């Protein structure tokens, strides 16, 4: 009897080819697009959004072409609570969250997996560029074949149960080859551009989005220097992130950067570029993949954001489910709310949310 797999189809080339590859491998494939968009005409018409109405139609046409069943499932409420509301709340606290990390944790590999198993499926699958392997009684997650497209950074929260029931067939291919396969089998999405913006913010203006969603919470305040001296007015802390230089709307006759955000006083601290280089942080909400918990100091390569290069660091448990991370070299703009993720070469060790900068 064929193993059944529910493929999360976003309407993009990666998840479309993932569905094709799994069908070729002999799986009983079901295509599912998760309805996560809220009632927003601009968003529903958006071409780029990974789960917009246009994306649903692309996914439906791919499923028809592949001759697999296709469904749209409503995940609007859980997405709003765990991704959108979380995103807004974090910015209001002066932090900079990664919504893709939250979506993977709560939606794709939790809510969708549960729904898939309710349907009698053995697995969920996605178009992520990462590789899952079994080593003894432990599932591991390694970087994909295409290092430029590797998405393990946003997958560090996966549990052993989730890894045991997840397939990521694109991880064994380069992106160019995925597009070639899509073209060879006649998929209309073979040259569709990658979605790079936050899926629920089509214009990528997160400050204006939050202002629209929570107009009474976003208030003007003051820019200050590290001594508390007033430098000028800002339009609301949600418009800024650590390390930001452009778009500050203030001229001081020299380059200045956001070095801290203080929600309690509604102030944004500005300083020199030198002020945003740090070596130490504390992370919370930790998850490890090759083992359950960290017992002693471990040398790793760590990334403080998706686009960062891995850098040599040491991680140590400090109690209360938190760990301390010490980098060998100073890192630019370590940012609270972002994820710090740990590797040993191509093996994903784990990660957590940056909670303090020391």
pTM of the predicted model as reported, rounded to 2 decimal places: 0.93
Q: What are phi and psi of 26, to 5 degrees?
A: 100, 10
86-104: pLDDT as tens digits? 999 999 999 999 999 999 9
pLDDT classification of 48: cutoffs 50, 70, 90: very low
Burial 224-233 (b: 16+ CB within 10 A, else e): bbeeeeebee
Annotated binding site for ATP: 8-15, 34, 127
Enumerate the β-bridge partners of residue 347.
142, 344
Euclidean distance between CA atoms 66 and 188, whole angstroms: 12
Q: Which residues are catalytic?
A: 103, 199
First to last CA, the chain: 55
Euclidean distance between CA atoms 327 and 325, whole angstroms: 7
Residues above pLDDT 70, as percent of the chain:
95
pLDDT at 39 over 80: no
Euclidean distance between CA atoms 172 and 185, whole angstroms: 19
Strands (E), the chain: 4-8, 28-35, 70-74, 123-125, 130-135, 138-143, 166-167, 221-224, 230-234, 257-262, 267-271, 277-288, 298-303, 311-319, 322-332, 339-344, 347-357
pLDDT at 160 over 90: yes
């Amino acid at each position: 009897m064929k193993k059944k797999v529910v493929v999360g189809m976003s309407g993009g080339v990666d998840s479309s080819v993932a569905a094709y590859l799994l069908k070729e491998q002999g799986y009983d494939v079901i295509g599912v697009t998760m309805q996560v968009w809220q009632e927003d005409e601009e968003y529903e018409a958006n071409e780029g959004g990974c789960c917009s109405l246009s994306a649903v139609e692309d996914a439906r046409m791919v499923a028809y072409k592949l001759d697999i069943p296709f469904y749209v499932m409503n995940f609007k409420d859980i997405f709003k609570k765990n991704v959108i509301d979380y995103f807004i709340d974090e910015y209001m606290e002066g932090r900079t969250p990664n919504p893709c990390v939250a979506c993977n944790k709560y939606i794709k590999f939790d809510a969708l997996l549960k729904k898939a198993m309710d349907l009698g499926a053995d697995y969920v699958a996605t178009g992520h560029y990462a590789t899952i392997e079994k080593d003894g009684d432990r599932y591991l997650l390694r970087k994909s074949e295409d290092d430029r497209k590797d998405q393990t950074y946003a997958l560090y929260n996966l549990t052993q149960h989730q890894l045991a029931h997840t397939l990521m067939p694109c991880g064994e291919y380069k992106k160019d080859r995925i597009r070639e396969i899509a073209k060879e089998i006649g998929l209309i999405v073979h040259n569709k551009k990658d979605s790079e913006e936050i899926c629920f913010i089509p214009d990528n203006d997160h400050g204006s989005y939050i202002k629209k969603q929570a107009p009474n919470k976003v208030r003007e305040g003051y820019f200050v220097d590290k001594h508390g001296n007033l430098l000028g007015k800002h339009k609301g802390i949600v418009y800024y992130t650590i390390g930001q230089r452009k778009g500050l709307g203030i001229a001081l006759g020299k380059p200045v950067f956001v070095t801290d955000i203080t929600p309690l006083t509604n102030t944004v601290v500005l300083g020199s570029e030198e002020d945003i280089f740090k070596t130490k942080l504390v992370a919370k909400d930790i998850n490890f993949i090759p083992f359950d918990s960290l017992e002693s100091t471990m040398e790793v390569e760590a990334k403080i954001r998706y686009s960062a290069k891995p850098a040599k660091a040491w991680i140590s448990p400090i109690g209360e489910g938190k760990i301390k991370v010490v980098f060998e070299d100073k890192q630019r703009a370590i940012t609270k709310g972002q994820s710090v993720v740990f590797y040993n070469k191509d093996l994903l060790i784990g990660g957590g949310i940056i909670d303090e900068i020391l």
